[in-house]
Structure 1
Amino acid sequence: MPLDGIVVLDLSQFLAGPSAALRLADLGAKVIKVERRAGGDAGRSLELAGQRFGDASTLFHTINRNKESYAADLKDPAERAQVEALVRGADVVIHNFRPGVMDRLGLGYARIAELNPRIVYAGVSGYGDTGPWRDRPGQDLLVQALSGITTLSGDRDQAPTPTALAIVDMSAGAQLAIGILSLLVRRGVTGRGGRVDVSLIDTAIDLQFEPLTVFLNGGGAPERGEVRNANVYLPAPYGIYDTADGHIALAMMPIDTLGTVIGNDRLAAWPAAQWLGERDAIKAEIAAHLATGTSAHWLALLDAAGLWVAPVLDWPALIAEPGFQALDAIQTITSGTETMRTTRSPIRIDGHRLEAPRAAPMLGEANVRIDSELRHAEGQR
């Protein structure tokens, strides 16, 4: 595995930091999750739809599979000394404490780098270390709202609409993993460790690079369409439309070509110069026409014409699709005699999909072994 031999101390909780550590574990790193003695990672009790697996929520197992757990009270000098001993033998430390907390715990970058100059120190925060937002709660929905993401989705007469997924948390985790890997590469060349920091707000702004760049360069303030809004700047037909028995998604395509293919003379004759300015009117015409036929009928016509179209699937329909089955995107993880199905890493290495069937650890289950290893290492010095 690419990261075989790399040791990661994961002091983070919930989603952003743990997702970065998860990806490193998927790639072969040994990830030791350092958790509070009292309750551990708060994600252990964050149950979605009341689901639990073993001793924790299914969410916790999904994001912390294939890790070890070491329970410690970082405010206790003796236990913090044990964590410092782990730092000496680690390659990466990940945390998502608010700015200043790691320094108050005696585990800030200066102290960690003193213990291990080769360490890669990775932090994810809500809003960075400076500025008036520094101490705001770093939570996905709040950052979506603050960053403008919620004003891009939904139709014009709807309230600002957040995404249904924790896209900022997960994207921040991916950015953090990229930064960690880049510093590991640099360390391989120079022998020098380093520090990487990612914030949720920076990630949210970066996610909007396409429409935000248009706005910054004179494109005007983004305005959601009144009809089938899917992108604040793209012209019709971009959006999702009702059919007689479901929905289909239409991406970028010439309006006249679309009109010809679906048999709508008005669309076929719509002047190209008006496609952008009359976006809502065009979408209304498309919506009325597509509602008269089934999804299968329109998909067959549009696919045959090479136009960019897709069915809108819910999860049962998605899982039944041969295309989904060919992805091999689901794995089974095991904890004792229990099993649970979840997603697997989207990364393929040397043509092979990564798999990590071990469930998340029980709180502190590695303490006895790790403490013994630390005592042995101390005796060798």
Structure 2
Amino acid sequence: MKALPLQGIRIVAVEQYGAGPYGSMFLADLGAEVIKIENPAIGGDVSRQTGPFFLGDNDSYFFQTFNLNKKSLTLDLKQPEGRTVFEKLVASADAVTNNLRGDQPDKLGLTYQALQHINPKIVCGHLSAYGRDNDRKSWPGYDYLMQAEAGLMSLTGEPGQPPARFGVSMVDFMTGAVASLGLTAALLGAHRTGQGRDVDVSLFDVALHQLSYPATWYLNQGHITERVARSAHPATVPCQLYKTADGFIFLMAMTDKFWQVLVGILQDEALLQPRFSSVANRREHRDALTLEMDRVLSQQSTAYWLETLKGQIPCAPVLDLPQALQNPYIRDIGMVRTVPHPEKADMQILGCPIKVDGQRMAGRAAGAMGADSVSILSELGYSGSEIAKLKLAHVI
């Protein structure tokens, strides 16, 4: 493979747990040197101790999931000597990113205002729960809280049931990805103009933004989007779960063209009724169409319909987690990669969804806490004895 797109970019990451590390891992995958700052006083990133599955001392599968290809530098930013090390690192870096509470970047001096005198080109990325410029800036916050307050839980699950969260922390992951997009855009600007800046992204803002078109409908037309049975699309029919002889299939005939193709394949007279002839009619008679589709599709297995419809009608099986990860297709496309780890030589991790020059990037396991401290400090000009003193003082 050619040089990766972000090769030569150095990013200092003051981060822990999920959202921040998830986003910066994309940057590391794409070739950036991401130096993860871990506080030795608290054992580093808290996710090193997030179970239930561990990899030796102070490491876990959870931690590895979000920290591939990164370096680890132990550093207590609150000690003067630690601040000195940090500022030397900033002088050599392109960006500093953090996912702290909104009031912490100012207190710790992680903003552009605090760092521009060291490096005018430095880009400072801030990922927080609620942002840094409002009366919630000091509030802690997590993914599930955002799903609740931004209205996402009210749209998830079956009608008549309690609100439900997504099965995984999608707000964390979306916010991490958006933060890395913002940081990359600011890096391009800084390399063009020589001027750095702050870039802010919050969990709440991203969660609210995910309301997308239901928000636009409500803000302009007062329309309230509600949950629809069978995880159906609120406006387009058929687009939902349907019963088969042995389970369910998710089928999406989103346009009249797809509907005509589907009717031609299914060859059932009831589906030719005028009340099903257009998108608007199908939406009006959704419940009746569901009964007819269930009747037809229940005559054969899910596997049969997938084979019959593939490549013609957008459709998918409904798999549980083991089935999804045992699906031969994900191995064929390289979405599972083996990343050797000292405690598990054949550790498996999901592959990066970004391809460069038609290839997925290789993965390197996250190292032990502080594994790169000596090499990074040596590069910054610290001697062996100076590094030993920093370690003795618990700065690193």
Matched with 1:53 is 55
Judged with a 3 Å threshold, the aligned counterparts in structure 2 of structure 1 residues 61 and 321 are, in CA distance, closer, same or farther, namely closer
Preserved contact between residue 245 and residue 295 of structure 1 (Cα < 8 Å): yes
Matched with 2:92 is 89
Judged with a 3 Å threshold, the aligned counterparts in structure 2 of structure 1 residues 134 and 288 are, in CA distance, closer, same or farther, namely farther
Within the candidate set 217, 228, 253, 2:230 is matched to 228
Q: State how far apart, in whole Å, the 2-side matches of 1:250 and 1:67 are.
A: 40
Two-structure CA RMSD over aligned residues (Å): 2.2
> Which letter does structure 2 place at the counterpart of 1:43?
S
Q: State how far apart, in whole Å, the 2-side matches of 1:13 and 1:126 are.
A: 13
Q: State how far apart, in whole Å, the 2-side matches of 1:278 and 1:137 are.
A: 46
Matched with 1:369 is 375
Within the candidate set 39, 42, 62, 2:43 is matched to 39
Residues 139-178 of structure 1: pairs in structure 2 closer than 5 A? 139-178=142-181
Q: State how far apart, in whole Å, the 1-side matches of 2:373 and 2:150 are.
A: 41
Query: 1:241-291 deviations in whole A, cap 9, x for unaligned?
Result: 232212211112556764564344333215145322232332243234433
Q: State how far apart, in whole Å, the 2-side matches of 1:79 and 1:291 are.
A: 66
Q: State how far apart, in whole Å, the 2-side matches of 1:177 and 1:71 are.
A: 23
Q: State how far apart, in whole Å, the 2-side matches of 1:217 and 1:11 are.
A: 40
Matched with 1:278 is 285
Within the candidate set 292, 298, 301, 1:291 is matched to 298
Deviation, 1:63, is 0.7
Matched with 2:390 is none
> Which letter does structure 2 place at the counterpart of 1:205?
L
Matched with 2:194 is 191
SS in 2 for 1:5: coil
1:265 aligns to 2:269 (yes or no) = yes
Within the candidate set 328, 344, 348, 1:341 is matched to 348
Q: State how far apart, in whole Å, the 1-side matches of 2:140 and 2:270 are.
A: 52
Q: Percent identity?
A: 37
Deviation, 1:327, is 1.0
SS in 2 for 1:62: helix
> Which letter does structure 1 place at the counterpart of 2:340?
T
Residues 246-265 of structure 1: pairs in structure 2 closer than 5 A? 246-251=247-252, 252-254=254-256, 258=262, 261-265=265-269
4+ residue stretches of structure 1 with deviation over 6 A? none
Q: Could you state the TM-score of these two structures normalised by the residue count of structure 2?
A: 0.86
Gaps spanning 5+ residues in structure 2: where? Answer: 384-396
The size of the alignment, in residue pairs, is 371
Deviation, 1:142, is 0.8
Judged with a 3 Å threshold, the aligned counterparts in structure 2 of structure 1 residues 253 and 298 are, in CA distance, closer, same or farther, namely farther
Within the candidate set 96, 116, 123, 2:119 is matched to 116
Deviation, 1:295, is 1.1
Matched with 1:65 is 68
Q: State how far apart, in whole Å, the 2-side matches of 1:11 and 1:321 are.
A: 36
Matched with 2:209 is 206
Gaps spanning 5+ residues in structure 1: where? Answer: none
Matched with 1:237 is 238
Within the candidate set 323, 328, 334, 2:329 is matched to 323
SS in 2 for 1:53: coil
SS in 2 for 1:32: strand
Matched with 2:221 is 218
Preserved contact between residue 20 and residue 174 of structure 1 (Cα < 8 Å): yes
1:25 aligns to 2:28 (yes or no) = yes
Deviation, 1:328, is 0.8
Preserved contact between residue 154 and residue 230 of structure 1 (Cα < 8 Å): no
